[in-house]
Structure 1
Amino acid sequence: MRIFVFLVSCLLALSVSANERLQVVTSFSILADFTAEIGGEHVQITNLVGADEDAHVYQPTPDDARALLAADLVIANGLDFEPWLPRLMKSTESPAPYIEATRGVLPLRVEEGGARIADPHAWQNLAHAEIYVANIAQALAAADPANADYYQEQRDSYLQRVKELLTEVRVSLGRLPASQRKVITSHDAFGYLGQAYGLQFIAPQGLSTHSEPSAADVAALIRQIRADQVRAVFVENIRDPRLIKQIAEEAGAQVGGTLYSDALASTGPASSYLGMYRHNVKTLVEALGQ
């Protein structure tokens, strides 16, 4: 009987502890990882678009609406990456504070559909992690002032790891020859990485994965790969690899591996943001530097 009472009291304590934690909703897996690193044991995270899933084409569920209504804080990427989320916030009349983790990023502007629009994939520049993490830590501290010092300490510790990886990345990508700095991917998600480290990313699809590329676009890309003697093309974890494999076969290039663009991996080294970044750089260097 005593053992039973002890177990019940432990379960109740765990339940109370979970309920006392800050209830945070994140829009997709990369933000969930940032928030977990900064919030630690003081936050309970509900993430909407999971690992290996595509936020561009995501359809919200009733569970998502319930999570927003119960949230103490909602964290989005912004830059029109998840346009369905502000609409869902409005329709549910969620009272939770809403922040965009890209606040302060100077966005890349690209031509698409006859207009210049902001590229939302700002996390692909590792240096922008400092902006993401600072915004998230500030939002957590505002929502939970009692643990503000903890969030700031976690932020500083995490940013130290970011700086160490920055050094690794600059050295690794700096070794690539100038003739092997063109990269073919499924959709245009790596512009910030290219801008930061002197790579040119080319894709048959634009910033979003909503629409499929035309036959003419694919044919033009194949001709460009042949003309520029691009060695490798890369599939993405959120996209069907068949088109890229077809392009590689017709252009006489190899498939260099999988890059993680808009979502973390479900398991393995790329299941965290820093692990994802390290994996992507290693995959690029191994394929292009041969």
Structure 2
Amino acid sequence: MLTSLLAIIILIAACSPAAPGTTAAPAEGERLRVVASLSPIKNIVYNIGGDRIDLVGILPPGVDPHTFEPKPSDAVKVAEADLIFLNGIHLDETTLKLAEANLKEGAEIIELAAAVAGPDELIYGIEHHHGHAEEEGHDDDDDEHGHDEEEGEPDPHLLLDPNFVIRYAKVVFVTLSAHDPDNRDYYEANFNEYTARLLALDEAIQATTATIPESNRRLLTYHDSFGYFAIRYGYTVIGAIQPNDTSQPSAQEVAALIVQLLDEDVPAIFGSALFPADVLEQIASATGASVRTLRDEDLPGAPGDPEHTYIGMMVENLRTLAESLGGDSSLMDGVDVGNVPDSE
């Protein structure tokens, strides 16, 4: 169904007349037209571009990018865009195909994850991620990262580590400045301030994690998306109910997770705002673990709410982890979750 719908949308857009000689540079008095795929990506782009760009998103709030079905209006959005920012590495594959099929002359598609991380920094396949908190971030050759590409597809969820998001923001700043040099100073000032806020977020996550007993820093999540987070901050991902696709786990897989949780005495398991909770409730009932929700691809609150930001998403996640695993969530209270352009 998704493939056929995408084909129809591509055909509709292909039949629409394209303006010859169109380039990605805005005409005088006009703003760059920018499209972003996921809600967190859109928010990162907004924090750099602010009101100097016309920014629209593709995925509505609360929609799973793995099962997203675009509408004809989405094809129009990407066909009119000068720049299209995606996460990439197959996380928003449907949007990528839509963009490639409808890209106007002179426009550019930017896959942020692929642009900021080399092969030695990516996690490959489905594995247990053993992390450690460190000040240097990702500049070493840690064994925690999967270096063998034969182990499977790379994990695309770099967004859960704010240090990678700083790199995302740098790519956004450089790209916007290249296409709109008149506003470079504005983009650079926003990038510098946003980087400072992301660094403060990183420090708060480290401080909050330090209050959680080390024996409790173990994560069983619905979706296998916290590997980079675990490596950065010293958690261990002991399993995922839905490791690599949208299928439900088998009865045997659920039973194995229950046995593992009972053996390891894990205090909490974590669902996702975008995935059903029935399997988690079944596991919690059998193990006595509490069930909480973490976010990885969707922002908290509604558009316009102060917490409806990437930083707001991470603050909510850390509060949830600390409250569930025996830590002090109050250490996240001082983190500024607002958008940089809104505070000017």
Q: What TM-score bracket applies, with the shorter chain setting the length?
A: 0.7 to 0.9
For residue 88 of structure 1, the aligned residue among 98, 104, 121 is 98
Q: Aligned AA for 1:97?
A: E
User: What residue number does 1:55 align with?
Assistant: 65
SS in 1 for 2:269: strand
Is 1:260 the counterpart of 2:295? The answer is: yes
Q: Given residue 272 of structure 1, which amino acid in structure 2 is its aligned partner?
A: T
Matched, 1:218 2:217: no
| C-alpha deviation, 1:90, in angstroms | 2.9
User: Which residue does the alignment assign to 1:100?
Assistant: 111
Query: Which structure is higher in helix share?
Result: 1
CA drift of 1:141 comes to 1.1
**Residue 119 (1) aligns with residue 134 (2):** no
Q: Is 1:21–2:57 an aligned residue pair?
A: no
- Structure 1 residue runs of 4 or more that deviate by more than 6 Å after TM superposition: none
Paired with 1:204 and 1:269, the residues of 2 have a C-alpha distance of: 31
Distance in 2 (CA, whole Å) between partners of 1:32 and 1:64 is 15
Deviations 1:195-251 (A, max 9, x none): 11111222111133x222111111111111111000111221111122211211112
List alignment gaps of at least 5 residues for structure 2: 1-26, 128-149, 328-344
Per-residue CA deviation, residues 247-270 of structure 1 (Å, 9 max, x unaligned), is 111122111x22111111242565
RMSD of equivalent CA atoms? 1.8
Q: Does 1:109 align with 2:124?
A: yes
Q: Which amino acid aligns with 2:97?
A: R
In percent, how many aligned pairs have the same letter?
32
In the alignment, the residues of structure 2 paired with residue 242 and residue 22 of structure 1 have an alpha-carbon distance, to the nearest angstrom, of 44
AA at the equivalent of 1:283 = T
Q: Which amino acid aligns with 1:75?
A: F
Tell whether 2:282 aligns with 1:246: yes
Equivalent residue number for residue 39 of structure 1: 49
1:178 partnered with 2:214: yes
Give the alignment's TM-score, normalised by structure 2.
Answer: 0.75
Match of 2:16 in 1: none
Contact preservation (8 Å) 1:26, 1:75: yes
1:177, CA displacement in angstroms?
Answer: 1.4
Secondary structure of 1:52 counterpart: coil
Structure 1: 5+ residue stretches without partners: 1-16
Amino acid at match of 1:99: I
Query: Does the C-alpha gap of structure 1 residues 177 and 269 become closer, same or farther in structure 2, counting only changes over 3 Å?
Result: farther
